């Protein structure tokens, strides 16, 4: 019997996947627990519409991310911090500070987890920082750290 899964089931399949399940398994386990629905024409049409709207939404998100990446290409963030000898900073510039400065100065909201910093910036100078905006879309911006 063909069924459409309503949630991920370990060893069986992922959500919104159409699988072949044994009749007894589907009728006695999947359907009563609301884990699956029969793969009839109405449910298949609903699944197709859901998948189409999801792909449209992903395409729109990717377009918006690409536009934001283009905008961020020209941005230079400037930080003035105290530094000791050899340009080493007292403290460090973190992904959180970069995200806060982007929001405050340019009104761009970016999750700090998406800022690709191997380690905090601990020396004065100019660095290029990558921000993963969306799947396949990476923005680059310049972070300039100067001494006070």
Kindly report the number of other CB atoms within 10 A of residue 129's CB atom: 18
Residue with tokens 């799947």: 135
Fold of 2-60: Ribosomal Protein L9; domain 1 (3.40.5)
Q: What is the pLDDT of residue 129?
A: 93
Rounded average pLDDT over 98-106 = 93
Give me the helices (H) in the chain, please: 23-25, 41-72, 95-106
- Which is nearest to 110 in space by CA: 90, 127, 82, 130? 130
**Residues carrying CATH 3.40.5.10, the chain:** 2-60
Rounded to two decimals, the pTM is 0.72
Check whether 87 has a pLDDT greater than 80.
no
DSSP string, 55-82: HHHHHHHHHHHHHHHHHHTT-EEEEEE-
Q: What is the pLDDT of residue 91?
A: 86
Domain at 67-147, CATH class: alpha beta
Q: How sure is the predictor about 147, in pLDDT bands with cuts at 50, 70 and 90?
A: confident
Sign of the alpha-carbon dihedral angle for 34, 10, 3, 1: negative
**Residues carrying CATH 3.10.430.100, the chain:** 67-147
């Amino acid at each position: 019997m063909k069924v459409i899964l309503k949630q991920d089931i370990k060893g069986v399949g992922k959500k919104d996947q159409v699988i072949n399940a044994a009749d007894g398994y589907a009728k006695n386990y999947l359907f009563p627990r609301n884990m699956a629905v029969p793969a009839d024409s109405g449910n298949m049409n609903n699944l197709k519409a859901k998948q189409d709207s999801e792909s449209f939404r992903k395409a729109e998100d990717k377009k918006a991310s690409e536009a934001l990446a283009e905008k961020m290409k020209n941005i230079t963030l400037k930080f003035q911090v105290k530094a000791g000898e050899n340009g080493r900073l007292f403290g460090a510039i973190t992904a959180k500070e970069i995200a806060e400065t982007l929001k405050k100065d340019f009104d761009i909201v970016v999750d700090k987890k998406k800022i690709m910093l191997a380690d905090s910036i601990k020396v004065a100078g100019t660095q290029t920082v990558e921000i993963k905006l969306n799947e396949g879309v990476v923005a680059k911006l310049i972070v300039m750290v100067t001494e006070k």
